Amino acid sequence: MQNNQFETLTEALANLNGRGYTLDFNLTARHLVCPELDASFPPDAFEIDEFHRFEGMSNPDDMSIVYAISTKSGKKGTLVDAYGTYSDPLSAEMLQKMRIA
């Protein structure tokens, strides 16, 4: 799993998109949701291939993380989420799946 190889979130998203991570995923308490596919994926239906963290230069509370995700059915996309104080609560299964070192 790679981490923090990009200077900006925009650069990371462009690179991942160029490598086939073209879908957008949203995080709910128990699933990843892909509006483009009208599908949801429980924790056992996807893998996190890599992630990249970003902290806002002017405000340490402005933190985000981008995940590169592959589903067991072969779909690839990204999830951009806040982390730290403002991130949403997750189920135990999703919390374990989204846990990164």
Banded model confidence at residue 100, pLDDT cuts 50, 70, 90: low
Q: Please say whether the beta carbons of 63 and 80 come within 8 A.
A: no
Mean pLDDT to the nearest integer, 23-41: 94
For residue 69, which of 55, 86, 93, 52 has the smallest C-alpha distance? 52
Quote the pLDDT of residue 85: 46
- Tell me which residue has tokens 């056992």: 44
Q: Does pLDDT of 2 surpass 70? A: no
Rounded Cα–Cα distance for residues 54 and 70 (Å)? 21
Banded model confidence at residue 25, pLDDT cuts 50, 70, 90: very high
Rounded Cα–Cα distance for residues 19 and 58 (Å)? 30
pLDDT in tens, 37-93: 999 999 999 999 999 988 766 555 557 889 999 999 999 999 998 765 445 677 778
Quote the pLDDT of residue 58: 55
- Tell me which residue has tokens 């189920």: 91
Identify how many contiguous H helices and E strands the chain contains and give both numbers. 2, 7
